[in-house]
Structure formats: structure tokens, C-alpha cells
Amino acid sequence: MEHQRKRNLVGAGPEEIRDILAGLEEPGYRARQIYAGIYARRLRSWDAFTELGKPLRERLKGRFSLEYPPVLRVFESKDGTRRFLFELSPGQRIEAVFIPEEKRDTVCISTQVGCAVGCLFCATGRLPMQRNLTTGEIVGQVLALEEDRAAAAKRLNVVIMGMGEPLLNYDNVMRAIRLMADGGGMSVSPRRITLSTAGVVPGILALAAEPVVPNLAISLNATTDAVRDTLVPINKKWNIDALLGACRGFPLESRRRITFEYVLIGGVNDSPIDAHRLAKLLKGMRKKVNLIPLNAADSISLKPPDPERVLQFQKILIDRHITANIRRSRGADIAAACGMLAAQ
């Protein structure tokens, strides 16, 4: 028995926990206590579950563990941003980023070890795709980062924008979102969860039909298929037209909008013509645009845009009554900014 790995209950859903407890011939309320202990009270050891009584605790201890992804190192930026490097197993590293702000904290989490999409401008895309993260590894990043959270009274936003393409790990990501959003557990409102995709159209269509729907962010990054084909290779499979069609059909609750992320790359997609074309493409949608000046990384040969070009691009959108923010880079000094996550 000693050699048998214990099953990790971080990531288990309410039904799984209920089935496990039923298998141990324990009453249903025990399952609810355990679920709340893991996700709402965030207990880290069976000994902390005092309400279960010693005999049950001992039985659980022998078979089940409560593990968050193991932290290898934490890098802290001058601006307070913290980059967590996790080592899931030798050679399998992922990252998550904790971004404190005045009124809220944001955690940015990963969904895969590496990424198969291979966008030209993204450091993660230069890594080989190794595997999908499990549900427990996805929610475990939030739990591990929050353990470190000084002012828990602040609102928490979760952005699924770290390493990997979330819609290519659809089932585990959806299970993780349901766990995060559950009011009896982690209690992160779906309005405060944002999933970012490079444009996996079947995934967007499936997401639209889910009972719990996060905010949707689309990494658009180009205004013509010719340019997008080179920057975001899955555009060859699902082009701009197909992608925006799926976005137009995406059900939005009142006051919700789709976010379009646009990484500005010097001389590639940052011209006034691009800005006008972008405004036209997005016509009629409830949206906002996040302009992200390219963050340089050693593995990337592209160059950031001139600052004036960024402002000019923004102005063209604003003049067309489009909300357009320039995303201030956080944590660039510790390689924690967008597109810099390379598991180092």
C-alpha cells in the first residue's frame, strides 16, 4: 500500500467527493464538510478537519492527499507582481502570476505545460507542448497563490491567460471554472473569471452553451488573415471571419462585453490602417479592446511598437467609440508579463 500514490482531492468535484464518502459508508454531510474544507476554508491537511473526528481523518489520510502544485520558486517584481514557478514533475514546469492592485488582486493561471499553438510573438509558444493540466492543477494554482494573499478582503479576479491554450484543454478547464465559481466553495463569481483564447472556434461554441460562462477574451492580434496566419497559426484552421462569427453568436449577459486582445508588434500590425480595419471588423459587437505593446523575450525576434504608434492606434479606436485600453505591463522585470512565461 505504501507505494501506491494517494489520490489528490484538490480538483475533485462535489459528486466525486460524495461518491468517495459513500464508498467509505459515511453520511452525505461528511462529503459537504470535506468539499467546503478544501475549497472554502482551504485546509491543507487532514488534521485541520477537526469536525470529521479522528477515526475518519485517519482513514482519509491513508488514501487521499490535499496537494497544491509544488512551488519551485517565487519571483517578486518591483511593482509587487509575483511570479510563481511550479514544478509538477521533473521537467514539467508551469507558471502563475499574482498581480496586486489597489482595489483587487488578479491571478493569472496556466492550463497546459507548454502550448501547441505556437504564436510567433509568445515565449510560451516557443516551448514544446507537453501535456494538459488536470483540474486540480488548474484550481490548485489559484489556491496556492491565494494562500500568499495578504489582504484577502480584496476582490479576486482570475484570468486564464497564462501558459497554454485553455480551449484545447476544454474539459479540465471547464471543471476548474465550475469549481472556482461555486458559491459553496471557492466563490469566485464567473463575472470575475476571464478565459482568453487564441481562437479555437469549436471551443467558443461549446463554451457558449455551458451553464457557467466566464468572460471571454479573444487574442485577435491581426486584422487580415494573411498577417494572422503568420502570427497565430491556428488562424489557418479558423480564420478571422469564422472567429468573429463565433463571437457574434456568443451570448452575453447584460453589461458584459467580449475583450479583444491585440498585441501590437512594431511594423507588423500597428499601422493606422490596421486600427481602422480593426474598428470595422468589430462593428456591432459589445466589446472592448486591450492593446498590449509586445513584450520582448529572448526567444522572440519581433520588435515592440513605437510608443506614438500605440497612442495613435488607440486614438483611432476611441474616435470610433470603441473602449480601448493600453495594457500597462506588470512584472516585466521578472519575466511575468504577457507572453513572457517560459517556465524559467
Q: Which does 221 bind (CB under 5 to 8 A by kind): ligand SF4, ligand SAH, none?
A: ligand SAH
Looking at beta carbons only, is 165 or 270 nearer to ligand SF4?
Answer: 165
CB of 169 to ligand SAH, least distance (A): 10
Q: Which does 118 bind (CB under 5 to 8 A by kind): ligand SF4, ligand SAH, none?
A: ligand SF4
CB of 233 to ligand SF4, least distance (A): 9
Pick out residues in 53-92 that bind ligand SAH (CB under 6 A).
none
Cell numbers linked to 81 = 507582481
Q: Which does 295 bind (CB under 5 to 8 A by kind): ligand SAH, ligand SF4, none?
A: ligand SAH
Our finding on whether 269 is near ligand SF4 (CB under 6 A) is no
Residue 338 annotated among the catalytic residues of the structure: yes
Looking at beta carbons only, is 34 or 244 nearer to ligand SF4?
Answer: 244
Our finding on whether 26 is near ligand SAH (CB under 6 A) is no
CB atoms under 10 Å from CB of 116, counted, come to 15
Among positions 11, 14, 69, 118, the unique one binding ligand SF4 when judged by CB under 6 A: 118
Pick out residues in 287-306 that bind ligand SAH (CB under 6 A).
292, 294-295, 297, 300
Residue 95 annotated among the catalytic residues of the structure: yes
Our finding on whether 197 is near ligand SAH (CB under 6 A) is yes
Look-up of cell digits 466589446: 287
Q: How many residues bind ligand SF4 (CB under 6 A)?
A: 12
Pick out residues in 183-222 that bind ligand SF4 (CB under 6 A).
198, 219
Pick out residues in 129-188 that bind ligand SAH (CB under 6 A).
161, 165
Residue among 95, 137, 165, 261 flagged as catalytic: 95
Pick out residues in 22-41 that bind ligand SF4 (CB under 6 A).
none
Q: How many residues bind ligand SAH (CB under 6 A)?
A: 18
Q: What angle do CA 215, 219, 222 make, to 5 degrees?
A: 145
Our finding on whether 119 is near ligand SF4 (CB under 6 A) is yes
List the strands of the sheet with 258-264, edge to edge: 71-76, 82-89, 92-100, 104-108, 155-160, 193-197, 215-219, 258-264, 287-293, 324-326
Looking at beta carbons only, is 119 or 247 nearer to ligand SF4?
Answer: 119
Catalytic positions, please?
A: 95, 338
Interface ranges with ligand SF4 (CB under 6 A)? 115, 117-119, 122, 124-125, 163-165, 198, 219
Interface ranges with ligand SAH (CB under 6 A)? 121-122, 161, 165, 196-198, 219, 221, 261, 263, 292, 294-295, 297, 300, 338-339
